[in-house]
Amino acid sequence: MSDEKEKIHIFDRPENVNRLLKGFYAICILLALADFVLHRHIGFDWEKIPAFYALYGFVACVLLVLIAKQMRKVLMRKEDYYDE
């Protein structure tokens, strides 16, 4: 690595990260609201729940991560587990 002062990159500035996140939240809100304006075709009954896909995506991912975290307690071993 060189000693010269390194360039400041885009995500080194917290305000850029915040801007990105704010934009992202705004899109999420718009998408959820769109569900009340636009009409989706309904295949299954549960699709009738307002913002079904948004709720499902959020809940699914939170559950996924929380369950996976618990799985670590049972499944995780040291890196050289098989090499012993």
CA angle 13, 17, 19 (to 5 degrees): 110
**46-75: contacts with other proteins (CB under 8 A):** 46, 51, 53-62, 64-69, 71-72, 74-75
* Structural element, H or E, at residue 55: helix 52-75
Sketch the per residue contact string, 13 through 42, with other proteins: x for CB under 8 A, - otherwise: --------x--xx-xx--xx-xx--xxxx-
Least Å from the CB of residue 9 to other proteins: 5
Closest CA to 56 of 30, 39, 32, 21: 32
How far apart CA 45 and CA 43 sit, in angstroms, is 7
Residue ranges in contact with other proteins by CB under 8 A: 1, 6-7, 9, 11-12, 21, 24-25, 27-28, 31-32, 34-35, 38-41, 43-44, 46, 51, 53-62, 64-69, 71-72, 74-83
